[in-house]
A = this chain, B = another copy of it.
Amino acid sequence: MLACNRAIIARMESPVPLIPQLGAHLVAAGGKRLRPLLTLASARLCGYQPGPDHQRHVGLAACVEFIHTATLLHDDVVDESTLRRGLASANAVFGNKASVLVGDFLFARSFQLMTADGSLKVMAILSDASATIAEGEVLQMVVQNDLTTPVERYLEVIHGKTAALFAAACRVGAVVAERPEAEEEALERFGTNLGMAFQLVDDALDYAADQQVLGKTVGDDMREGKITLPVLAAYEAGSPEDRIFWERVIGEGEQTEDDLPHALNLIAKTGAINTTIARAQVYADAAVEALSIFPDSELRRLLIETVQFTVNRAR
């Protein structure tokens, strides 16, 4: 991870100083670096032996983080967010224009990193994932404020915006280790299911978490009229009066200060958080199951713990 962090900082360089400045802001904000960690761990799980001339996993981990960072920059512009990981978001500090353009730069840089890696297979995985992410983000925008969105459509959104990159991050790890297709597929399945669980829990936390723990404001999704499972479940299980409330605050986006506490009450009353976490647990179990083709090892145990931690942080 140290090597990966160094690669991220080194490849953020540009003759245009604003680019590394905005990059430094993002790096300083921290973040879990979960996706590059998945690439590194997947490569090692498949027996990739790093050495001075065997650093492909590091370059690709940085590449995955660049794709992720580019989408975060654009997300914050699209969502008009002012906080990211508990600090002022890049668009709040540097403006929307800088965020759009530096996002484009990081995206282009990620493709330069892939090109430097030189594997067409890796390029196909990551360029497909990039297109799927953008489709997921567009779909999320289309269903915004629409309480009649079927749960399946919501699952498509989170598959696109989150699980696709988790899956690709894992799969490229297997590719650099030059392992059989079955191991690539197992790691892709692991990443997909972990990503689904991760996003479901994230969506639950937006209606449950302590702001300081989460590093973001509770109720962000509600303010943006985002359609997430906690809302769909509370709407589904709600009384006619509850539904009128949701139609006003989410459907029409007309919100007052008292609406968030009431929304949290309705979500608690209808068990919508539990519904969401239960679904996340199903994906988490599938993620763990996907690892079963690998022999027991400390690394495999760590990955399984990561899955469990992902779900348990909402409990």
Q: How far is the CA of A15 from the CA of B138 in the complex (A)?
A: 11
| A interface size (C-beta, 8 A) | 41
> In whole angstroms, how far apart are the Cα atoms of A114 and B124 in the complex?
9
Q: Which residues of B contact A124 (CB under 8 A)?
A: 112, 115
Q: Using an 8 Å CB-CB cutoff, how does the interface string of A89-127 with B read, 1 for contact, 0 for none? A: 000000011101110110111011011001010011001
Given the interface pairs A16-B135, A108-B130, A135-B19, the reply to whether A100 lies near B78 with Cβ below 8 Å is yes
Residue of B nearest to A126 (CB): B111
Cβ-based interface call for A139 (8 A):
yes
CA distance A123 to B108 in the complex (A): 11
Chain B residues with Cβ under 8 A from A135's Cβ? 14-16, 19, 105
A267 to B98 CA separation, bound complex (whole angstroms): 30
Q: Is the CB of A19 within 8 A of B138?
A: yes
A120, B112: Cβ atoms closer than 8 Å: no
| A293: interface (CB < 8 Å) | no
The answer to whether B115 and A131 touch across the interface, beta carbons within 8 angstroms, is no
Question: Is A234 located at the chain interface by the 8 A CB criterion?
Answer: no
21 A-B pairs with CB atoms under 8 Å apart are: A16-B135, A16-B142, A18-B141, A18-B142, A19-B135, A74-B100, A77-B100, A78-B101, A98-B138, A98-B141, A101-B134, A102-B134, A104-B134, A105-B135, A109-B131, A111-B130, A114-B127, A115-B120, A115-B124, A115-B127, A123-B123
Using a CB–CB cutoff of 8 Å, the interface residues on chain A facing chain B are 14-16, 18-19, 70-71, 74, 77-78, 96-98, 100-102, 104-105, 107-109, 111-112, 114-115, 118, 120, 123-124, 127-128, 130-131, 133-135, 137-139, 141-142
Q: Closest 8 A-B residue pairs measured CB to CB?
A: A105-B134, A108-B130, A108-B131, A111-B127, A104-B134, A78-B97, A115-B123, A112-B127
